[in-house]
């Protein structure tokens, strides 16, 4: 074979694979993870799971990406194994769409409309439009559409390059003899599986086969086993993704292998039984691009229809092959928060960001729980509660570390501007929630020190602490609610309350100095009381920071810092801001005014 033919083939394959990558990445960006989220919400029945698996895979042009996400969702305990089986079946059908797109390369007609549908016309047309959108468009969504069109253009160009480069092979006896050997079912399946496993894409390997079919040397007899082997080879990606995952995640990957392997064996048995008894009249004829695309779809649809009623049996089989080795245990708070932080979901950055957001919300709720427990310690100190406080604080610290590492890893992937902004927001907010947890522990330590010194707050001081603690509880709840729902209106309620808490802290500090002077409180207790007031004020400050992050990221003004935002707010305080300040003042500050003695 001529060296230059090999170079042309390799170059065409490289463009083809890169075009598929660019296309899939563009579609994923455009969906913003929404396609993957549909797998969570619309897979209540096996049939709906099959349909969603097919639709999502057809949209992202990759069954490997779909099945890897499925393994990640099962590992995160979001999808059940039965749901995953349906999605995997659907993914096998959805991946055949690529072959039907590529069959356009075989369209030949003098009709003007049909000529526009040929890759030789579509490739440059899509590339031109895509480049114009990518370079000239200002909106992100238009740039993403441009990337998708460029992906299509490169995909078609690669396909045409491969087809043109292999054309001389039609006259080579050795090439014809090679595909004659592939008519052996076992050899054909092995070759199809091996090539697909190497490039980790059944769509790409089917595309290569379609390009080679242009030589006329590939018959239906040779193509049948190769296509079926390609379905087995594509299972290598989820198998690799399941390494180190949970039992059910491993079972999901094994379902993909088992389903494709059993389907191939069943179809081989049926096909060759018919061929050796009745015989197919087209068996020795050359197969076309359209024939490959049609058979690829028929094969996957038929084995799905056969196994659809047997999903329970498949589930039972893989559960036997991957048995439980340990009894189930209840998930810890850390496990619950980190359930969705799976590296397998990094193939879908939008989905990964959403799960990091959920974990951050969970972290905020743990900080709120610890704050509530720490304030209760001033009323009645409990060593067991102190132990729980420390355990939860350790979890919060580990969550900050794990979340930060996950987000930094995620930031290294290709993503949209919005997703990058959300990552920045998350990195900032996890730090704020971690500090709320720290100051809660500071309060608990003050309460413990009072208990050890047998020192007690006066009834007036305790009541004042209750008022400020309740205000801080509300501001933490507001921060969590605003961040969870990405709700600027809720975030705008935080700053007026934070100002009221500052006023309470200043008033209570001055009042406590008077109590010290009058001898109503010991110096050591007074120091601990003032330290607690300072910690409560800092808690409110960090909640204010969360509110600013929500407002600025929603408004797109991510360069605005907390001080810049507060300066803007206080400079032109709106009627709404003033009304909220008065409302919170009446709710909290008026109570310490009434308690003044």
Q: How confident is the model at residue 329 (pLDDT cuts 50, 70, 90)?
A: very low
pLDDT above 90 (res 374): yes
More confident residue, 241 or 461: 461
In CATH terms, 334-452 corresponds, of 1.10.3720.10, 3.40.50.300, 2.60.120.1570, 1.20.58.220, to: 1.20.58.220
DSSP state, 572? T
Give 439's pLDDT tier (boundaries 50, 70, 90).
very high
Q: What mean pLDDT do residues 470-495 have?
A: 92
Q: Where in the chain is the domain with CATH 1.20.58.220?
A: 334-452, 457-597
Stretch 253-262: mean pLDDT, rounded?
Answer: 88
Under DSSP, is residue 512 helix (H, G, I), strand (E, B) or coil? helix
CB-side neighbour CA atoms (13 Å) of 466: 11
pTM for the model: 0.69
Q: Which fold has domain 457-597?
A: Methane Monooxygenase Hydroxylase; Chain G, domain 1 (1.20.58)
Residue with the larger pLDDT of the pair 335 and 71 = 71
336 vs 314: CA distance, rounded Å: 28
Q: How far from each other are the two terminal CA atoms of the chain, in whole angstroms? A: 100
Percent residues over pLDDT 70 in the chain: 81
Q: How confident is the model at residue 15 (pLDDT cuts 50, 70, 90)?
A: confident
Tokens 């198998």 identify what position?
Answer: 239
What pLDDT sits at residue 326? Answer: 47
Q: Closest by alpha carbon to 120, among 153, 169, 167?
A: 153
Contact 238, 256 (CB under 8 A): yes
Please state, in angstroms and rounded to a whole number, the distance separating the CA atoms of residues 456 and 285: 95
Name the strand (E) or helix (H) holding 555.
helix 523-555
């Amino acid at each position: 074979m001529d060296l230059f033919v090999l170079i042309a083939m390799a170059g065409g394959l490289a463009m083809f694979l890169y075009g598929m990558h660019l296309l899939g990445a563009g579609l994923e960006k455009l969906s913003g993870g929404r396609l993957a989220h549909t797998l969570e919400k619309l897979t209540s029945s096996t049939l709906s799971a099959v349909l969603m698996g097919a639709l999502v895979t057809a949209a992202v042009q990759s069954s490997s990406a779909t099945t890897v996400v499925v393994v990640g969702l099962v590992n995160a305990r979001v999808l059940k194994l039965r749901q995953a089986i349906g999605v995997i079946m659907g993914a096998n059908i959805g991946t055949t769409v690529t072959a039907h797109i590529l069959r356009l390369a075989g369209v030949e007609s003098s009709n003007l409309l049909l000529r526009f549908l040929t890759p030789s016309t579509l490739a440059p047309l899509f590339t031109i439009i895509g480049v114009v959108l990518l370079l000239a468009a200002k909106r992100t969504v238009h740039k993403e559409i441009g990337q998708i069109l460029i992906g299509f253009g490169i995909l078609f160009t690669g396909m045409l390059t491969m087809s043109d480069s292999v054309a001389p092979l039609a006259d080579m006896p050795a090439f014809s003899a090679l595909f004659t050997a592939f008519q052996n079912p076992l050899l054909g399946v092995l070759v199809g599986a091996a090539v697909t496993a190497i490039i980790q894409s059944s769509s790409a390997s089917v595309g290569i086969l379609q390009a080679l079919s242009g030589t006329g040397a590939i018959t239906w007899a040779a193509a049948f086993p190769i296509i079926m082997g390609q379905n087995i080879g594509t299972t290598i990606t989820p198998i690799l993704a399941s390494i180190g995952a949970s039992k059910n995640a491993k079972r999901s990957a094994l379902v993909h292998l088992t389903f494709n392997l059993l389907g191939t064996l069943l179809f081989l048995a049926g096909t060759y039984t018919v061929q050796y008894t009745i015989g197919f009249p087209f068996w020795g004829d050359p197969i076309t691009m359209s024939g490959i695309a049609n058979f690829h779809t028929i094969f996957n649809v038929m084995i799905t229809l056969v196994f659809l009623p047997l999903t329970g049996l498949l589930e039972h089989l893989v559960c036997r092959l991957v048995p439980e080795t340990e009894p189930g245990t209840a998930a810890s708070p850390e496990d619950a928060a980190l359930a969705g932080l799976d590296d397998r979901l990094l193939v879908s950055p939008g989905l990964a960001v959403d799960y990091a957001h959920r974990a951050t919300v969970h972290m905020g709720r743990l900080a709120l729980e610890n704050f509530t427990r720490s304030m209760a310690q001033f009323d009645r100190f409990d060593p067991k509660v102190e132990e729980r406080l420390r355990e939860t604080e350790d979890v919060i610290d580990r969550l900050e570390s794990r979340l930060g590492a996950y987000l930094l890893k995620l930031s290294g992937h290709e993503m949209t501007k919005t997703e990058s902004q959300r990552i920045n927001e998350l990195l900032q907010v996890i730090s704020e929630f971690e500090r709320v947890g720290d100051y809660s522990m500071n309060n608990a330590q003050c309460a413990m020190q009072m208990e050890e010194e047998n020192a007690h707050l006066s009834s007036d001081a305790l009541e004042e602490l209750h008022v400020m603690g309740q205000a801080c509880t509300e501001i933490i709840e507001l921060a969590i609610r605003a961040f969870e729902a990405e709700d600027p209106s809720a975030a705008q309620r935080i700053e007026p309350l934070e100002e009221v808490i500052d006023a309470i802290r200043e008033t209570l500090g001055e009042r406590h100095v008077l109590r010290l002077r009058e001898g109503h409180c010991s110096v050591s207790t007074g120091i601990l009381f003032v330290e607690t007031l300072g910690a409560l004020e800092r808690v409110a400050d960090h909640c204010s920071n969360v509110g600013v992050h929500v407002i600025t990221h929603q408004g797109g003004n991510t360069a605005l810092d907390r001080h810049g935002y507060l300066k803007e707010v206080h400079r032109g305080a709106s009627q709404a801001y003033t009304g909220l300040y008065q409302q919170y003042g009446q709710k909290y500050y008026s109570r310490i005014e009434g308690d003044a003695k």
